[in-house]
Chain A
Amino acid sequence: MLSMKKIEMVYRADMVETYALRNFNLDVNDGEFVAVTGPSGSGKTTFLNIAGLLEEPTSGTYELDGESVGKLSDKKRSQIRNEKVGFIFQGFNLMPDLNIFDNVDVPLRYRGFSGAERKKLIEEALEKVGLQSRMKHLPSQLSGGQQQRVAIARALAGKPRFLLADEPTGNLDSLMAQQVMQMLEDINAEGTTIIMVTHDPELAVRARRNIQILDGSVSDLDEMMHRVTEKVSAVAEEA
């Protein structure tokens, strides 16, 4: 599904170069639910931006769905983002002037669907998050949890294969966070690959796979555990 090899991301400001990612390698398979943790400034968001084609890496190869997406035009990248990727943000990022229906409509507009198709997809998506009755409301009329559910509906409406969530529960109280997390798990269960950046270890352990980013590189906890176990068993066999 997603394969990053030797990704490097360097930010240049004035004379100083800052490595956000360095020799970053990661493979994510279809249907995985990956939680990404790591301290502030470790490169979590940079990774997410590259994964979602919002930023281009300085070097390295990135394949999404078997297609190399490293050096594509802005138009093509936008199209891939639109069709294959859904984003959920900590701050929800709903458009304050658009009602719920129109918010969910945004990615579908760029997809070029007809009015009838869009209506069907929007209603489906809102039904999935249980907000079909609030279609005409403005975001400001909804609670934080409801707003995040709208954001999830917006991310899902175009049926992307791949969902990127940046601290999706960061601005929510724990009850609402639980609901949103549950929703993400359900979505994952239906086959959508999810990568979620989070601070919360409790949420992270609910994911099927955990990776940690430290100083711009991956340390895959599961893989490490796996290797440790292998080693242990090998030792045991030898013994």
Chain B
Amino acid sequence: MEIRPILSALSRTKIAVFLIILQIAITLAVITNAISIVNKNESDMDRPTGVDLDNTFVVSISTVNLESDPKEIMQSELAKITATPGVVAVTPGPVVPLSGNNWCGGLSTAPEGEDGTDVHMCLYRGNENFANVYDFKIIEGRNFLPEEITYLKEGEDAHIPYIMVSKAVADELFPDESAVGKNVYDGGDAEQRPKIIVGVFDQLIGGSPQRNNPFNMRIEGLVGWQNFTRYSIRTEPGELPVVMEKIEEVLKLDPNRYVSRVRSMQEYKKLAYETESAVNSMLKTIVTMLTFINILGVVSLAWFNVNKRRKQIGTRRALGARKGDIIKYFLTENWLITSMGIVLGVAIALGLNYLLDQSLEVGKMQPQFLVFGAVLLWVIGLLAVYIPALRASSISPATATRSV
């Protein structure tokens, strides 16, 4: 098909063509950026968390009479939970992965005042069962021994000598050697007592996955006897709903305790990514609507062109153009317009990506999304123009001679 005559025909309806090109360009820019953001959010959500999402839940519980002894209460509750059939492991601990709560603090390879490597991280606390409740692997060293767990009363300050760190933290603190057995120091400890890294685990996501470096974590071997606490509980596969119900029932038997929440880790994850999934749903809706609007635009422009050129088409037919030639003419014309829109659209898409990345840190646009968007628009365009083109091809050659 010759392109030159099509171009010269297009140049006669400059504004209409320019508008459709602009429409395609903006559509491409929005679609590719939306897909890029959706993809980034989804890959964030699909990251391994280090949590056995399907079989872990958390109970939040507090005391009615604050004069009672939390140590006694918690010990008895831990015993009851452990004894419940279907429970694999339980650990007390105030911070829960994906819960939105974060306790954070840096560690250094040297005491304050000396030169050392500082690494910022957030932390979990728990007993020796913490590693069984969550689904991470200890890749170096070992888990806490029961006697390494520090127990302290509310309001007490205590040294926490034994910790485990994630691989991300270990690599930063000790890039060239194993972190196991090394001493590290907590800037918040007035006495700068050393902590020993007993193990390094592969990964466990932090309280807020949206934070920078959500896998920079440490686990402190510490249980606080507190009036308000959380129990993280892992169940046998498939036992979660039954165990959740059972545990709530058991804990509620004590009138001095108030169970404020029983929530599965799946639920925590859903809430942790609520904004991302909402944004994704909205972006997907916008992409769908845009596709629809674009089909409208292409069809109407083609319709408009067919109607305007009835006589010209009739003349072409009279001069021997076959139906296929007419269809090809319109398809080629549409392909040209879409292509021009795509060229402009790629530029706008990259500009928009730059702006969004500057203000919202959505990440760089990957080329395959641009290719996907372009192919999508080409296909939409050709499909949308096909029916008007078919109609054009059925214009009778007699149209050429009919009018006065």
Q: Find the A residue at minimum CB distance from B404.
A: A90
Residue of A nearest to B403 (CB): A91
A170 at the interface (CB under 8 A from B): yes
Q: Look across to chain B and name the residue whose beta carbon is closest to the beta carbon of A167.
A: B404
CA distance A90 to B404 in the complex (A): 10
Quick one: CB contact mask for B316-347 with A, threshold 8 Å, 1 for yes?
Answer: 00000000000000000000000000000000
Interface size on B (CB < 8 Å)? 1
Q: Which residue of B lies closest to A170 (CB)?
A: B404
A96 to chain B, nearest CB (A): 16
A77–chain B nearest beta-carbon distance, Å: 26
Contact with A along B11-28 (1 / 0, CB 8 A): 000000000000000000
Min CB distance, B367 to chain A, in Å? 43
Q: How far is the CB of B303 from chain A (nearest CB, A)?
A: 19
A197 CB to closest chain B CB, in angstroms?
Answer: 12
Collect the chain B residues with CB atoms within 8 Å of residue A91's CB: 404
Q: Mark B360-404, 1 if CB is under 8 A from A, else 0.
A: 000000000000000000000000000000000000000000001
Residue-wise, chain A 46-61 has the 8 Å CB interface mask toward B (1 for contact) of 0000000000000000
A88-126 vs B, Cβ < 8 Å mask (1 yes, 0 no): 001100000000000000000000000000000000000
Cβ–Cβ < 8 Å partners of B404 in chain A: 90-91, 167, 170
C-alpha spacing A170/B403, complex, angstroms: 12
A169 CB to closest chain B CB, in angstroms?
A: 13
**Hey, which chain B residues are within 8 Å of A167, CB to CB?**
404
Q: A228: shortest Cβ distance to chain B, in Å?
A: 34
Which residues of chain A (154-198) have a CB below 8 Å from chain B? 167, 170
Query: How far is A91 from B402 in the complex, measured between Cα atoms in Å?
Result: 13
The residue of chain B having its C-beta at the shortest distance from the C-beta of A171 within the complex is: B404
Expressed in whole angstroms, the minimum distance between the Cβ of B307 and any Cβ of chain A is 16
A48 CB, nearest partner CB in chain B, Å: 14
CB-CB nearest in chain B for A45: B404
Distance of B130 from chain A, by nearest CB (Å):
79
From residue 135 to 164 of chain B, which have CB atoms closer than 8 A to chain A? none
Interface residues of B in 278-299 (CB under 8 A from A): none
Q: Which residues of B are found within 8 Å of A90, using beta-carbon distances? A: 404
A167 to B404, CA, bound (A): 11
B residues near A170, Cβ cutoff 8 Å:
404
* Bound-complex Cα distance A167 to B403 (A): 14
Q: How far is the CB of B204 from chain A (nearest CB, A)?
A: 72
User: How far does the alpha carbon of A152 sit from the alpha carbon of B404 in the complex, in Å?
Assistant: 21
Output the least CB separation between B312 and chain A (Å): 15
Interface residues of B in 90-116 (CB under 8 A from A): none
CA distance A90 to B403 in the complex (A): 12
> What's the minimum C-beta distance from B4 to chain A, rounded to whole angstroms?
16
Q: Closest CB of chain B to A83's CB: distance in Å?
A: 29
In the bound assembly, the distance between CA atoms of A65 and B31 in angstroms comes to 63
Tell me the minimal C-beta distance from B12 to chain A in angstroms.
11
Interface string of A68-92 (1 = CB under 8 A from B): 0000000000000000000000110
Smallest Cβ-Cβ distance to A40: which chain B residue? B404
Give Cα distance in the complex from A52 to B369, angstroms.
59
Question: In the complex, A108→B404 CA distance in Å?
Answer: 29
Interface string of B35-50 (1 = CB under 8 A from A): 0000000000000000
B7 smallest CB distance to A (angstroms): 16
What's the Cα separation between A91 and B404 when bound, in Å?
10
- Assembly CA distance A140 to B404 (angstroms): 21
A72 → chain B closest CB, angstroms? 29
Distance (whole angstroms) from the CB of A211 to the closest CB of chain B: 21
Q: How far is the CB of A139 from chain B (nearest CB, A)?
A: 19
A17 to chain B, nearest CB (A): 19
Complex: A202 Cα to B402 Cα, angstroms:
24
Residue of B nearest to A90 (CB): B404
How many Å lie between the Cα of A66 and that of B404 in the bound state?
A: 34
Distance, CA A188 to CA B202, complexed state (A): 103
- Bound-state CA distance A97–B404 (Å) is 24
CA A170 – CA B404 in complex, angstroms? 10
CA–CA, A73 and B404, complex, Å: 31
Quote the shortest CB–CB distance from B5 to chain A (angstroms): 15
Please list the 4 inter-chain residue pairs (A to B) with the smallest Cβ-Cβ separation, ordered nearest first.
Answer: A90-B404, A170-B404, A167-B404, A91-B404
**Interface pairs (4), CB distance under 8 Å:** A90-B404, A91-B404, A167-B404, A170-B404
